[in-house]
Each structure stands twice: as structure tokens, then as C-alpha cells.
Structure 1
Amino acid sequence: MSGHFNGGTSQEDERDQYVYTSIRYDRRLVNSEQNTAASCNKPCPFYMLEHHWTRLQVAKWSTFFFTDDRPRPNSGGPAVLLQVLMNAIKKWHEDHPGERPEALRVRLRAFVGGKMSTQINHPLKSVPMSALFPKSFTRSPEGHEKPEWTIVLDVQPTEPGEGTMFKTSDRCAYGRARGAAGIMDYMTPKEVLLYTPSQEILDGSICTPYLFREGCWVTPSSSVGGLQGTTRRWALENGLAVEGAISIDSLVDGETIWLSNAVRGYFCGIFQMREPPREALSEEMVKELDRQRFTYTQSIV
């Protein structure tokens, strides 16, 4: 493995450019055949490990940031990535004696120059295994209660580019969209859908969206320019959804939209129509979002 690893994130690290991935550590996953299949066919406590390794290999070749002569980020092989993550879990347990949570959220950053670092903020809520590996999506949420999550449309379009295609330290577009939607932290059960100047759904701010269109579940096509998430890849490979163009004009107030990410798995929310102005944000809001940009960046999955 090139570079070196540390178990924390320094202020100096925060100023450096990096690609990253967030992954769920869940003790139950070791016994999951589906997770084994998504982790290089080896039992693993990390959610879809192989897909995270692939994400890092692809993202490190983006040119948006890494234009100098320093070595590009390098996560090594899947076995190296697994060892780095296991070291992070071991250190967390050493720092929290007596605690044995079922699941933890681990963020791994790969910096220009080869260094990697990890960060674990807090334990995660338990979710059923069916939420990590669903067999299908349903249009009507199960049970009598409405889904906890609310989903809204962004107030202005986002121009696709490497900043939306790769998960890097630049999350400005996503932070702006979350701020404009009133989402100030990661714990709020609310998502905002970003869209392109051509009026197509681009991505969610922290989740991949899936919408029911013409008889099947559709996620934004890779050609639109959004992030190619790990759970998105699994959903496509297992026939839960297909790629396609989704116009914002097709959104219906109250419709069920499924979401997924590599920390929470798969879950659904209800789209809430709103009629905000789509012109540029006010100067005051832009200043406020800039002030809170660091907070937004830390809260993104």
C-alpha cells in the first residue's frame, strides 16, 4: 500500500483534497450471503465492501482536483481496504471500552499523495437485513404509518461535472441544495433532489433516488452526471431498478420515492411538492451557506 494510514482527521487534512467513501460496519453482515457476494466473495462486516473499493479506484482518476504530479489516492487492493477499516473499528472499541454497538458509520478518505484516514462519529441505528438487501421496491409503504423521510426538489438547477460524478472533498453543490431545503444536519429525515439545467433529476444530496416510471423503478442514468453510488450499483445489478431519464415535471406530490446509501441501506420517503422560486439564492442566504459549509461537508454521507 502506498502512502500511510491514520485513524483520525486533522485540521490539516480538512484543507487537503481527497476522495472518500462512507461505509456501514455491521456485525451481522459477516453471516450474510448477499454481503459476502458483494465483498469479493468473502465474509465481511462491512456493507458491500467490493463496491466501495471500486468507487475509490474510479474516483482517484478524476481530474477535477488531482492535476499536479503528486501520487493519486490509492486504496490498495480490497484486502488492504478491509484491513484499514478493521483497524479503525479496533481503535474505536479501544477508545470506547464496554460499548459494543451493532453498527458504526466509517468514513474513509484517500488523499492526494497516498495517505488515508478514517473517522467514526457515532453508532448507527439497527435496521432489518431486508433494508440492506431488499428483494424489491414497493409503491405503497408497508404498514399503516407513513415513511419517516420527506423528499423535496431543489430550488435551482445544478450543472453536472466531476464534482457531482465523484465523491470528493468538494460537496458545494450538495451542501447548497441541503441548506436551501432547510436540512442542517445528517440526522434530519429529509432529502433533496438535485436536477440539471435540462430539467432532469441528477441525484439526491446523500442518497440515490429511485422513482416508479412506466411500470418499473428508475434511477437517474449515469449519463446525466450524478454520483454512481455503491447501493445504486447493487440495485441495478440485482434488477431492482433500471437507468433512465426522469423529468422534474413528472414529480407528483405524495408519491413514494425509494432512497439508498451505503450507511442506511434502502428506505422510502414521500415526495412533497413545494413552489419555491428557482432563481439564484439571495446574497444573505449564500453568505449563511458559506458560513455553514464546513458543517454541511461533515454531515454528507
Structure 2
Amino acid sequence: MASDHSFHLFTSIRYDPLLLKSAENSLPILNYVSPSPFYMLIYHRDRMLEAAQHFDFHAVTQRLEHGESLHQELLQEVGEYLHRGGHDGPLKMRILFDKAANITIDFAPTPPVPLSTLYPASFDPPRPEPTPHPANPDPPTFLPSPLTGGALILGPTDAFHSNPPSEPPPPPEYHLRLDTQPTPTSAFTLLKTTVREQYDAARSRALPTNPAGAPYSEVILYNSTHELTEGTLTTIYVFRGGRWVTPPVGVPAGEFTAQTLKDVEGESADLDEGELRKPFAGRWGHSVRSAKVGAGGQRGTSRRWALKKGFCMEEPISVNTVEVGEGVWISSGVRGFAFGRVVE
């Protein structure tokens, strides 16, 4: 295990002025201030706080107690970044804490996406290509109306828009490849820290190519018991048994007890399992509560939102069920939700 001074706790969050128009992002379960340009800030704060509790970063725990103060501090940091001539648009903010609660924020431009990518209305099952009817095997051909003179002519200022001009297009389809080796579960696969060697190794050995570019390529990880866990940078959702499922994340070894999932300070708790509990917050999921430790992936913020919306369920997923060509949803706290397919 890394020493206390050799790693930082961190989270990567999206800053996007477009989020100021989102009613969902303004909900009090997602942000301390409404409207907010930060994507699910409360969920990011919660998982940083959980990591601080686990690794005994006591100063970080104290610093994260007041959510509105965190919002204002981040907003000030963005203002200073823009004042220095930084990119004026969507940003990836990488927020790091050392054990003394010193904060470092790295900024990087991130591609614009529509609100429907950050907050989709649903997870639609993958649709196969339509099968032509035997009596009409060829797709219909466009036949212009005689009223147009037999042709459709666009003027120099005419155009068709598949998306409203005020919103950017959705991201391209991702390519995903199953890793060739298991990634052992540890506190560093459950909680977000700068200990990232296991993810770098997976990407170096299995990252697929994608014509849309490397940012749209991902590796699907699995643990030593051959259950899927996550992507190297994303949460994964696969279609099984007529519904979308995501791997259960579990808790660090030695911190899971039956009481953890049943009670909060001695009271019965019919709550979102992402709500903070001491010494640990539970599984960040809505599936049947049990003594099973999860597969071992990260406690994703967008994953927590998807579970709470009922778009998916927690369920163990065997490596042997993954098929080339199948559709997979992925999500992250920076890029939102996107669709991809498994490649060889």
C-alpha cells in the first residue's frame, strides 16, 4: 500500500456554463448552489469525503464539511484561470488534495456536449439493424413530389440541422476492448487517488484504436474472479436479462459489515446507499443489500446518478458474457454518458 505522503485524493469534475440551463443539475441532491456550472458537485464531494475517511486524511475530511464553501472556492479558481487567459468553455477540473488538505486544481479544455449527453432521458436498449421485409428487400428510394418540379434544390443559405444550433453534437461512438489480464481489487480501485498504475497498465496492453481518436477508446477491466469492474476512465453499463446493469462496487476489505448497510447511527436507513455513513458509506447502489463485497470498481458520480434514476441495476457480470459487437453505455464525471461497442 502506498504511504500517506506518496499519493493524493482526487476527483475530476466538469465545469460547463451550459449546465446553468439544466434543471436536473440544479437539484439540491446534486449541487449546493442553484444554478451551478459544476456537474454533480455534491456526488464528487461525497466520494472525496469517503476516500478521506478511509485513508485517514483527517484535514481533508474537515475541509470538505461545508459544501457551499467548496462551490465558491471552485468558482473562484475558475475565475482566476479565465483571468489568466484560460480556455473559456467546458473544462475538466482535476481537484487534488494531499493529506494536509492542500488543494491543487488542474484545468484542461474538454469537448462540448449537449445537455442530453450529461443528463440522458433514459438508457435505450441497443437496436439491431432492421431486417428488410421479404417482399421489399431494398430500402425505399426518395421520390420527390411533382410539386417541386421533380427535384429538391437547396439555396446557398439553406441547411438541415439534426441538432439545435445552440447545442453541440453528441460524442461519437466509443470503441471498447476487454482487458487481457485481471486487475486485482484494492482500496485504490474502489476510491479515487493518484495511484493509477493499474489503469495505465491496462490501457497500454489493451487500448483499442478508434477513427474518432484515442479519447473515444476504452478498456473494460475485470477482477481476479473474472467479473467486470469498470473502464479505465469510465463506469460501464451492459444489457443483460432485458435491463441495463452495472457491476457492484463494494467496499474496502475489513470495512464491510451487515450493520453498515442496515443502520445509520443506530436507526433504520431506507436511504440511497451513496449517502455518507461512518466508517464507510456503503455501495453507492440501489440493488438488494447483501453481505457480498462488490466487484471492485470506482465509486462513480455519474453511476450513482444513473442508479438513483432507475436506469440500471447493480449485478455481477461475468467476463464470459461479453461479446464483440455488443452495445455498452459508459459514463464519467467529466464527459457524461456515451454509447460504444465492444471490438476485437
What is the deviation of 1:142?
Answer: 11
Aligned residue among 311, 321, 326 for 1:255: 326
Rg comparison, structure with higher value: 2
Superposed counterparts of 1:1-301, under 5 Å: 16-37=6-27, 38-40=30-32, 42-63=34-55, 66=56, 71-72=59-60, 74-96=63-85, 100-101=88-89, 103-121=90-108, 123-140=109-126, 147-182=172-207, 187-222=214-249, 223-273=294-344
Contact 2:208 2:343 in 1 (8 A): no
- TM-score, scaled relative to structure 1: 0.77
Query: Contact 1:75–1:116 at 8 Å: present in 2 too?
Result: no
Write the deviation string for residues 49-89 of structure 1: whole angstroms up to 9, x where unpaired. Answer: 111111111111223xx58xx74554342112212211221
Structure 1 segments unaligned to the other structure (5+ residues): 1-14, 274-301
SS in 2 for 1:28: helix
Partner of 2:139: none
The aligned amino acid for 1:90 is: G
1:242 is aligned with what amino acid? M
Deviations 1:235-274 (A, max 9, x none): 000011110000010011100000000111000111013x
Partner secondary structure for residue 26 of structure 2? helix
Give the TM-score normalised by structure 2. 0.68
Residues 202 and 92 from structure 1, CA distance in 2 versus in 1: closer, same or farther, beyond 3 angstroms? Answer: same
Paired letter, 2:220: L
Q: Which consecutive residues of structure 2, in runs of 5 or more, have no partner in the other structure?
A: 131-170, 250-293
Change (3 A) 1:55 1:100: same
Distance across 2 between alignment mates of 1:255 and 1:40: 38
**Whole-angstrom CA distance in 1 between matches of 2:312 and 2:321:** 18
2:207–2:217 CA contact under 8 A, matched in 1: no
Which amino acid is 1:52 matched to?
H
Seen in structure 2, the aligned counterparts of structure 1 residues 168 and 141 have a Cα distance that, compared at 3 Å, is: farther
Greater helix share, structure number: 1
Give me the whole-angstrom Cα distance separating, in 2, the residues matched to 1:216 and 1:151.
20
- Identity of matched residues, %: 33
Aligned length, in residue pairs: 250
Give the Cα separation in 2 of the matches to 1:53 and 1:141. Answer: 36
Q: 4+ residue runs of structure 1 moved beyond 6 angstroms? A: 141-144
